[in-house]
């Protein structure tokens, strides 16, 4: 009983001891398990890495053999190509040599014959000389013809001018301008005027209508007895001698188109249109459209908009305050005003000072 009582008394202590020892064993068991896992993982890693190294060595050997085989095949192919290229180059060189010899022989025998070529060039040069001489003769002939045509044209022009100036011919009473009494021989134009005939303008012929009796027209028996033609019949008389112009020029001047005057060419409301255009231009050039009302309270609550030349960053324009009517009292010698000779100049200086002071105040 005593032993049982001691055991019962020590039951709690035993339970604690049992729990403590079991817990310590669990801790050590976990450490041992982790150590075993680590040893196993290291060993398995070493074994896998060794196997992978073995596989790499085997793959390297296989790749080496295969690449060596491919390289030897490629090298054999290159050798074959080079051998074929060398043979073709040799054959081409031999063919070129054969062609060179044959072409040289053919050219020397059939094509390039020195004496035949010399004769050919000589014939070509002779033909060229003959053609050149013929062309020179043709050019000289054309030049002579052109000169002759120019001379004929000038002669015709002088003849026409002489016919137009036939009124300048000398008469028995009055010598012409080309027959001066102070010259030994008359001017060549005087001789040309004597040979020329006066220029007479040809008037248009009027065609008479068939079936109309002239006696009826003269008798005026009908309303249509007068001639219906616009151009009157020509008067058969000689043209007066003198400085008269050509009939065509006179007709052109007589029947020139109507030129209206400035009053008729311009519209009747030109002044009104000009004013409207001026008003439009002033409106386009206007900077501020607000109406200026100095004696009203319309602009009291609005901000003042300064002028462009006064609000610029370069400063206002100094014309009127520095360059004109400017006064500098520091440079004055005395306080007296300038004395002028005439009273008008004195009055002008006073008003000038007033205007300058007013401008400074503004």
* Dihedral pair phi/psi, residue 229, rounded to 5°: -75, 145
pLDDT of residue 150: 95
pLDDT of residue 45: 94
Q: Rounded to two decimals, what is the model's pTM?
A: 0.28
**Chain centre distance of CA 314:** 39
Q: What's the rounded mean pLDDT across residues 169-194?
A: 82
Judge whether residue 52 has pLDDT over 70: yes
What's the mean per-residue pLDDT of the chain?
Answer: 76
Judge whether residue 354 has pLDDT over 50: no
Q: Which residue has the tokens 């050590």?
A: 28
What whole-number percentage of the chain has pLDDT above 90?
A: 29
**Confidence class for position 183, pLDDT limits 50, 70, 90:** confident
Judge whether residue 233 has pLDDT over 80: no
Q: Which residues contact 167 (CB under 8 A, 6 or more apart)?
A: 198, 241, 242, 243
* Dihedral pair phi/psi, residue 239, rounded to 5°: -75, 140
Number of Cβ within 10 Å of residue 359's Cβ equals: 13
Long-range CB pairs of 172-176 (<8 Å, 24+ gap) are: none
Q: Which pair of tokens denotes residue 5? A: 């009582």
Q: What is the pLDDT of residues 241-287, one digit of tens each?
A: 456 677 788 788 778 777 777 777 777 888 889 889 988 888 777 65
Long-range CB pairs of 244-247 (<8 Å, 24+ gap) are: 246/201, 247/201, 247/203
Q: What's the rounded mean pLDDT across residues 94-119?
A: 85
């Amino acid at each position: 009983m005593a032993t049982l009582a001691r055991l019962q008394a020590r039951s709690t202590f035993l339970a604690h001891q049992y729990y403590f020892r079991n817990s310590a064993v669990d801790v050590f068991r976990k450490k041992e398990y982790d150590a075993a896992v680590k040893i196993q993982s290291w060993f398995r890693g070493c074994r896998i890495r060794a196997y992978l190294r073995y596989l790499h060595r085997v793959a390297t050997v296989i790749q080496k053999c295969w690449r060596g085989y491919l390289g030897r095949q490629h090298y054999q192919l290159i050798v074959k190509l080079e051998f074929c290229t060398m043979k073709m180059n040799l054959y081409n060189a031999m063919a070129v040599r054969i062609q060179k010899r044959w072409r040289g022989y053919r050219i020397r025998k059939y094509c390039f014959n020195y004496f035949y070529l010399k004769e050919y060039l000589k014939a070509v040069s002779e033909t060229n000389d003959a053609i050149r001489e013929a062309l020179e003769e043709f050019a000289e002939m054309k030049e002579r013809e052109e000169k002759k045509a120019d001379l004929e044209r000038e002669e015709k022009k002088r003849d026409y001018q002489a016919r137009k100036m036939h009124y300048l011919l000398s008469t028995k009473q009055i010598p012409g301008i080309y027959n001066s009494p102070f010259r030994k021989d008359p001017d060549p134009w005087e001789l040309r005027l004597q040979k020329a005939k006066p220029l007479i303008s040809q008037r248009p012929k009027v065609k008479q209508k068939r079936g109309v009796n002239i006696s009826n027209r003269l008798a005026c028996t009908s309303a249509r007895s007068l001639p219906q033609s616009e151009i009157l019949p020509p008067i058969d008389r000689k043209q007066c001698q003198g400085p008269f112009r050509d009939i065509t020029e006179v007709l052109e001047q007589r029947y020139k188109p109507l030129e209206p005057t400035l009053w008729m060419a311009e519209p009747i409301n030109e002044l009104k249109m000009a004013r409207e255009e001026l008003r439009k231009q002033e409106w386009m050039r206007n900077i501020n459209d607000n109406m200026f009302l100095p004696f009203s309270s319309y602009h009291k609550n609005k901000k003042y908009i300064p002028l462009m030349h006064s609000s610029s960053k370069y400063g206002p324009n100094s014309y009127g305050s520095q360059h004109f009517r400017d006064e500098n009292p520091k440079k004055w010698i005395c306080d007296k005003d300038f004395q002028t000779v005439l009273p008008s100049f004195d009055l002008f200086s006073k008003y000038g000072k007033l205007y300058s002071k007013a401008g400074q105040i503004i």
